[in-house]
Structure 1
Amino acid sequence: MKKTGIYSGSFNPIHIGHLAIANWICEYTDTEEVWFLVSPRNPLKEAGELMEEKLRLAMVEAAIGDYPKFSVSDIEFSLPRPSYTIDTLRTLRSTYPDRSFQLIIGSDSWAQIDRWKQYDELIREFPLLIYPRKDYPIEIPEGCPTVRGVDAPLLEISSTHIRQALRAGKDIRFFLPEPVRPFLIEQLRLPE
């Protein structure tokens, strides 16, 4: 059974931090591939400046290109909203019985896992890989054998910072995969 990591997020926009973490997970854990699952909207976050979901999907597709260990999924676009991780993972498991799905989350998300729908069932049913985020140590309590921290690099790049920097006229080309820049220039109405 192929071990597939699910890296879910709004990717508003996708940036090199997302790609670096996914790449590290493919190369330094037993995860064989990573699917970037574009979420229409996280029920625990404000909608704020969320770009249109199909645009975010197109940016992720452009960012990963033809890298064989990465794929993109829009499965939540067709699920009831708001979408919840447990429901999405169960749908993936029934749709792709030849894969073993693992959820990839940051330690900041792990710190609030008890706010997630049916989080105890999620932890029981699916392995979780937790990568480090600043100010959120990875603490895994006893009785969570499916949960493990990974020693991925600590990357402090945020989509919010990227949008703000672009609007302020900053040249942050090395924070973004090059194929994503044209999408943002048009979406944020920026000069080229």
Structure 2
Amino acid sequence: MADPIALLGTSADPPTRGHQALLEGLLGLYGEVATWASDNPMKQHGAPLHLRAQLLQALVNEIGDPRLRLQQDLSSPFALATLERAHTLWPGRDLIFVVGSDLAGQIPRWRQAEQWLRLCRLAIALRQGWPLQPAALDALRSLGAQIDLLDLTVPASASSELRKAPEPGQVPTSVWPLLLEHTLYGLTPSRC
């Protein structure tokens, strides 16, 4: 059987050094990683999906590893649709659905969580500043989740904070030109 493929959907609103660290870390754990920009129904987004996909593609290009790909056709506001699409793209492959520790407690409220958790293993990466609560793990396991706690620590950078107050050191180099070209999040060369 082929190696599992890690799946990381993200709002990428905008991609941060945390996204970069997570993607690079996943490449150290898995033979293939697919990522995509997604509309999260629990969030307000600061840029349209097509522009966030371009930002994420710039980051994928910067990482420059052929085992990492932007797979935008996996994008859906709902994990079940994403995983069904992934099973169509990679029949017979084990799918590892990756989330940060900040999302672990929300997953039981996601649409059809019990159903989609059966289609994959759930891998949780610890984000600095967002400790993983034992109650969250218990709730996930009660839904049937097979959980892998990843030996990765993702820096405490958050897209929501960058939208409020740009911090150049938290934005990957490849992402800046597109942020400025499209004046996303109110950014202009003088504001950066």
TM-score bracket, normalised by the shorter chain, equals: 0.7 to 0.9
Equivalent residue runs for 1:17-166 within 5 Å: 17-27=18-28, 29=29, 31-39=30-38, 41-47=39-45, 49=46, 51-65=47-61, 66-76=64-74, 83-97=77-91, 99-133=93-127, 134-139=129-134, 140-141=137-138, 144=144, 146-166=146-166
CA positional deviation for 1:25: 2.2
Unpaired runs of at least 5, structure 2: none
RMSD: 2.1
**Residue identity matched to 1:52:** P
Q: Secondary structure, in 3 states, of the residue corresponding to 2:151?
A: coil
The change in CA–CA distance for 1:56 and 1:113 in structure 2 (over 3 A counts) is same
| Between 136-145 and 150-159, the greater mean CA deviation after superposition | 136-145
The change in CA–CA distance for 1:33 and 1:105 in structure 2 (over 3 A counts) is same
TM-score by length of 2: 0.82
Unpaired runs of at least 5, structure 1: 167-171
The change in CA–CA distance for 1:125 and 1:14 in structure 2 (over 3 A counts) is same
Q: What is the count of residue pairs matched by the alignment?
A: 178
CA positional deviation for 1:138: 4.9
Structure 1 residue 179 corresponds to structure 2 residue 179: no
Contact 2:74 2:85 in 1 (8 A): no
Q: Secondary structure, in 3 states, of the residue corresponding to 2:86?
A: helix
Inter-partner Cα distance in structure 1 for 2:153 and 2:27 = 13
Moved over 6 A (4+): none
CA positional deviation for 1:98: 5.3
CA positional deviation for 1:37: 1.5
Contact 2:21 2:154 in 1 (8 A): no
Identical aligned residues as a percent: 23
Structure with more of its chain in helix, by fraction:
2
Inter-partner Cα distance in structure 1 for 2:145 and 2:106 = 18
TM-score by length of 1: 0.82
